[in-house]
Amino acid sequence: MESKNAPAQRKPPKAGIDYPRNYAEFLAWFPDDAACLDYLDWIRWKDGFECPSCHGFKGWRMKNGTWWCDACRNRISSTAGTIFHHARTPLTVWFAAAWHLTAAKNGVSAKTLHRILGFGSYQTAWAMLHRFRCAISHAGHDMLSGHVEVDETVLGGVRQGKRGRGAEGKVLVAVAVELLSPKGFGRCRLQMIPNAETETLKAFIQKHIKPGSTIYTDGLASYPSATKDDYIHQGTSIKGSGKDANEVLPGIHRVAALVKRWLMGTHQGSFEEDHLQAYLDEFAFRFNRRKSAHRGMLFFRLIEQCVAMHPMPFHELVANPKPKIEKQVFVVPSNLRNKAPASLDISVPTHPWRTALP
C-alpha cells in the first residue's frame, strides 16, 4: 500500500468505527498482536504516512506491517518512536492494560493489573501504567474558560500538627474547576505547587485558564495580585461570608474530595511525592471525559497520546530509584524474573470444563 499525500484534518472519532464501544467489541477488535499493530498504524498514519526520520510523505506498507520510506529508504514500524518502541510486552497486553485503566471509573492500580494480567513482576505492571500516565501528562490540553473556581488542597496521610496550607509532610496542590450553567462542573486541572504565594498561583492560573475568564477564589491575599489585568476576580472570605467552604467553592471541594477518595481507594493512599503529578494528570484525564457516551473514547484518546509520546526507558520513569530503608523489598522469584507476560493471543480451548478428567 502506498501513501503520498500530506496528512489532512481528521474528523471526530465515532463509536464502533474509530474505537470499540464496549468490552465485547474490544475483545472482538483486538484478538491478536497483529490487530493491535494495525490499529496503531491506523491511528498514527490515518491521514497519510509520514516518516519519523526524514518527514517524507511517500512510502509503502510492507506485508509484515512495516513501512518503507521512499525518501530515506528506511523501514519504519508503527511502534517506532512511541512508548511501545522495543517493548517486550506483547501489544495485546498493552491494549488490555489501557482498557482497564480507562474503562473503570476509578482506574486500576499496578497491584490489581499485576494480578489480573499475569505479569511476571509488580515492577512491570507499575512501569506500564506509569508510561501511560507520562503519555497523558505530555499531551496538550485546551485551557479552561468561562467561570472557573481556583483553590488549593493538601494531599497526604493524617499527621499531627498544623492543618491546611503549610502543613508539614503534605503536598500542596492547586485545583481549577470550570463551572457550568445552570449547575454542574466542567473540566478540571490539578498541579502540585511549592507554596500559595502570588507568583506561584499566577503561573498556575496563566498556564491553565484562558485570559478574560472569571475566577472565583476564597479570601487568600495572593489571588487579587495573581489575577489582576488578565482576569475578572471574585474573591469571597469564607470566614466573613458565614458559609462553609464547600458552599463558597463547591466545584473545588467536590474534585478535591474525589481525588483523595481515588488515591485512598484505588491506590490505598500509597504514592511517591515525586510521581504524584502523574497520578493527578491521570485523574483529570478520566474526570474531564466522564460524560463520554462510550468508555472506548477514553481508550482511543489514551492510545493516541501513547503514539505521540516518545519512548520512556525504565530509569526515566523512576524518580527515586533508591528504595527507602523502612519499606519492605519484594524479591521476584528467579523463574519469573525479567520475563514479559505472554500475549493474550492464545488458542481457544473447546469447553475445557467438559473435557477435564474426573
| Length in residues, the chain | 358
Amino acid at 300: F
- The grid cell for 300 is 482511543
Query: Cα(26)–Cα(170) distance, rounded to whole angstroms?
Result: 40
Query: Cα(152)–Cα(256) distance, rounded to whole angstroms?
Result: 9
In the chain, the DSSP E strands lie at 2-3, 59-61, 67-69, 75-76, 147-155, 171-179, 185-192, 214-218, 232-236
* Positive or negative torsion for Cα 177, 180, 183, 187: negative
CATH superfamily of 147-288: Ribonuclease H-like superfamily/Ribonuclease H (3.30.420.10)
**Domain spans of the chain, in order of start:** 147-288
- Exposure b/e, 1-17, CB count within 10 A at least 16 = b: eebeeeeeeeeeeebee
Which SS3 state, helix, strand or coil, does residue 45 take? coil
- Exposure b/e, 93-132, CB count within 10 A at least 16 = b: bbbbbbbbbbbeeebbbbebbbeebebbbebbbbbbbbbb
Alpha carbon of 242 to those of 148, 163, 246, 257: distances in Å? 22, 20, 12, 22
Amino acid at 118: G
Query: Cα(151)–Cα(304) distance, rounded to whole angstroms?
Result: 31
- Exposure b/e, 263-289, CB count within 10 A at least 16 = b: beebbeeebeeebbbbbbbbbbbbbbe
| Contact assessment for residue 102 and residue 302, using Cβ atoms and an 8 Å cutoff | yes
What's CA 283's distance to the chain center, in Å?
A: 7
* pLDDT at residue 57 in the model: 85
pTM: 0.84
Query: Cα(201)–Cα(186) distance, rounded to whole angstroms?
Result: 21
Per-residue pLDDT of the chain (358 residues; tens, 9 = 90+): 555 554 455 688 999 999 999 999 999 999 999 999 999 999 988 878 888 878 888 888 888 778 888 888 888 888 888 999 988 899 999 999 999 999 998 999 999 999 999 888 899 999 999 999 999 999 888 999 999 999 999 997 544 445 555 555 689 999 999 999 777 899 999 999 999 999 999 999 999 999 999 999 999 999 999 999 899 999 999 888 888 888 999 999 999 999 999 999 888 877 778 899 999 999 999 999 999 999 999 999 999 999 999 988 888 888 765 554 344 444 445 554 555 667 887 777 777 777 766 6
Residue 307: enclosing H or E segment and its boundaries? helix 296-308
Alpha carbon of 43 to those of 48, 201, 205, 345: distances in Å? 10, 37, 33, 21
Query: Cα(249)–Cα(238) distance, rounded to whole angstroms?
Result: 9
